[in-house]
Amino acid sequence: MGRSDWRDTTVLQNTDSGKYGEGYIGSSRGIAVHVRSKDAEKDHTGCQWPLLSTAAPNDPLPSEPWIAVIRRGSCNFEIKVQNAWRANATAVLIYNDRDTTNLEKMKLSTDNGRKYL
């Protein structure tokens, strides 16, 4: 299936719950939106506000529940989560920017973590 064939396609997948550091674990549903920077089309790190959709950068982000898909790197996880939260994302999925099989645990400070739960 070509890249453009995925538009307007619903994909359902059973997975395990994700975990952000030692914080809240819960389920979430929504449209997966790969985000980008307003100023840099190839910046998918979620580090710069505001966040835009890579598929439709001129359109507003969804009003229905959506999940921010963000590339790792360039800033800490807290900034990525804060920007997604500010954009009204229901969850964040951060994918790796490194070719490794070792996963690093993400952390939020206790004080800041309470704002996002």
64 inside domain: yes
How is residue 73 written in tokens? 């790197």
111 inside domain: no
Q: Name which of 115, 64, 63, 66 is nearest 92 in CA terms.
A: 66
How many structural domains is the chain composed of? 1
Which domain, by its residues, includes 38? 28-98
Reported pTM:
0.69
80 inside domain: yes
71 inside domain: yes
6 inside domain: no
Q: What mean pLDDT do residues 73-89 have?
A: 93
pLDDT in tens, 7-62: 666 666 665 555 555 556 678 889 999 999 999 999 999 999 999 999 999 999 99
61 inside domain: yes
Taking 80 as the threshold, does the pLDDT of residue 102 lie above it?
no
88 inside domain: yes
Instruction: Please tell me which residue, 74 or 19, carries the higher pLDDT value.
Output: 74
93 inside domain: yes
